[in-house]
């Protein structure tokens, strides 16, 4: 569109919901172009916006087409968050002459490096395991009845041998991050996080992976109480609720979320 606003091309039951949440948090005046899945897949019309045909896609005011949630979140926060409400500090890099104590303090900082570490935990570590578990579950669900025992056995074998351990590894790391009392920026426990603190890019990116895994019963969030509490705090934010109202569906149980 050419009205000077960014435009979000938004697919129901998809990762695009977290970008819609971020736009609402930022208070950005934006255009929303909704799409609905067809037989569980993104409609072909999305390929007219970007050749990959995936969502979210953000078209900036200048007409630049952006894909990938973490990159879109980075662009929106850097462009529209003039007051720095959703940003963490830039890293303070110790000089070679710094004392050991100063270097340790810099390394412990809750800064952009830590934020990127958490974003990568979600996108590069948790996501592949969740996706693999999702595909295996779909394989069992749609297997012909005479092949169901084979598919179910294959799923169980891979879960026990590999996937459950990988999922636990990622969620346990997130649980530890949430229990860090010194953390005051993104993905922080309620006890260490003032009520006025806003989420940052790590929250917007990682929260969706947690929602997806929990909705598909790939993980039991009862094992990760800090993660469950953090996810619920995200859901209770007014902007999150507005995004649900403006979206055109968000069902990660029955929807196909890829």
Q: For residues 56 and 14, is the Cβ–Cβ distance under 8 A?
A: yes
CB 227 within 8 A of CB 15: no
Q: Which helix (H) or strand (E) holds 74?
A: helix 69-80
The answer to whether the beta carbons of residues 15 and 55 sit under 8 Å apart is yes
Torsion angles phi and psi, residue 57, rounded to 5:
-130, 130
pLDDT for residue 189: 39
At 42, phi and psi to the nearest 5?
A: -65, 140
Domain ranges of the chain: 109-237
Residues 182 and 179: their CA atoms lie apart, in Å, by 9
Specify the 3-state DSSP secondary structure of 204: helix
**What was the pLDDT predicted at 91?**
56
Burial class for 176, CB neighbours closer than 10 Å (0-12, 13-18, 19+):
exposed
pLDDT of residue 204: 94
pLDDT at 258 (0 to 100): 44
Q: Tens digit of pLDDT for each residue in 201-256? A: 999 999 999 999 998 889 999 999 999 999 998 999 999 999 999 987 788 766 55
Specify whether the CB–CB gap between 186 and 179 falls below 8 A. no
What confidence tens digit (pLDDT) does each residue in 48-94 have? 999 999 999 999 999 999 999 999 999 999 999 999 888 876 655 66
Structure tokens at 11: 């697919």
Residue 36 has pLDDT above 70, yes or no: yes
Instruction: Give the per-residue pLDDT at 255.
Output: 55
Does residue 32 have a pLDDT over 90? yes
In this prediction, residues 117-141 reach a mean pLDDT of 90
Mean of the pLDDT values across residues 146-163? 84
Coil, helix or strand at residue 35: strand
Q: Which of these CATH numbers, 3.40.50, 1.10.150, 1.10.3470, 1.20.1050, describes 109-237?
A: 1.20.1050
Please give the sequence-ordered ranges of beta strands (E in DSSP) within 62-150, or none if there are none. Answer: 65-67
pLDDT at residue 97, as a whole number:
65
Instruction: Give the mean pLDDT of the chain.
Output: 84
Indicate the pairing of strand 7-11 with strand 31-35.
parallel
């Amino acid at each position: 569109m050419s009205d000077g606003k960014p435009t979000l091309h938004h697919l129901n039951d998809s990762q695009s919901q977290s970008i819609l949440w971020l736009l609402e948090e930022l208070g950005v005046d934006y255009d929303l172009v909704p799409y609905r899945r067809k037989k569980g897949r993104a409609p072909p019309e999305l390929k007219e916006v970007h050749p990959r045909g995936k969502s979210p896609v953000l078209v900036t005011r200048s007409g630049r087409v952006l894909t990938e949630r973490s990159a879109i979140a980075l662009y929106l926060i850097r462009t529209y968050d003039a007051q720095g409400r959703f940003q963490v500090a830039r890293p303070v890099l110790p000089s070679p002459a710094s004392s050991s104590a100063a270097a340790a303090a810099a390394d412990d900082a809750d800064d952009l490096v830590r934020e990127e570490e958490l974003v990568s935990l979600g996108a590069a570590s948790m996501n592949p395991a969740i996706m693999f578990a999702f595909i295996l579950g779909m394989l069992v669900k749609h297997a012909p009845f005479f092949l169901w025992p084979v598919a179910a056995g294959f799923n169980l074998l891979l879960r026990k041998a590999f996937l459950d351990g990988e999922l636990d590894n990622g969620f346990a790391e997130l649980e530890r991050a949430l229990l860090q009392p010194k953390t005051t920026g993104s993905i922080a426990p309620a006890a260490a996080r003032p009520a006025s603190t806003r989420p940052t890019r790590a929250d917007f990116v990682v929260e969706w992976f947690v929602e997806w895994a929990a909705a598909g019963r790939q993980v039991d969030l009862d094992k990760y109480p800090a993660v469950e509490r953090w996810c619920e705090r995200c859901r209770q934010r007014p902007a999150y609720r507005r995004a649900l109202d403006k979206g055109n569906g968000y069902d990660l149980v029955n929807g196909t979320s890829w």
